[in-house]
Structure 1
Amino acid sequence: MSIAKTFVAEALTRVVDRATQMCGAMGVSEDLPISRIMREVRPFRIYDGPSEVHRWSIARRAVRNAGKRA
């Protein structure tokens, strides 16, 4: 579950960031909905726990599984 949460939150942020970059100054203005979407998407990386916490969880699980195989 940690992998999915991290992937989705970061992918969504990348998509909105690229849309903002493509629109230039209009991307951060109130003329387009992109700035509002960015404000709503940012907390996604925090709601279910910070991405860094999920990465630690993924790493611990990978190390534990590697130890079982050895």
Structure 2
Amino acid sequence: NKLKRLKLTVKKKTFYDPRQDREDVHRKRAEHLKLISGVNPENVIVIDETGTNLTMVREYGWSMVG
């Protein structure tokens, strides 16, 4: 089958990134919060074009074997 020839396998996707638990990520988040804490929210303009809906996300994907 084509997936085997390409050395791909079907994987169930996760919606949790374990990297978010790393100490360096916690430190960077704290630094960012400290940086933006002095910004007046009335001076912030947010443009959101992501428009996500979890029911539209595939539960399975393809990945290299291993």
More strand, by proportion: 2
Q: Greater RCO between the two (CA within 8 Å, min separation 6)?
A: 2
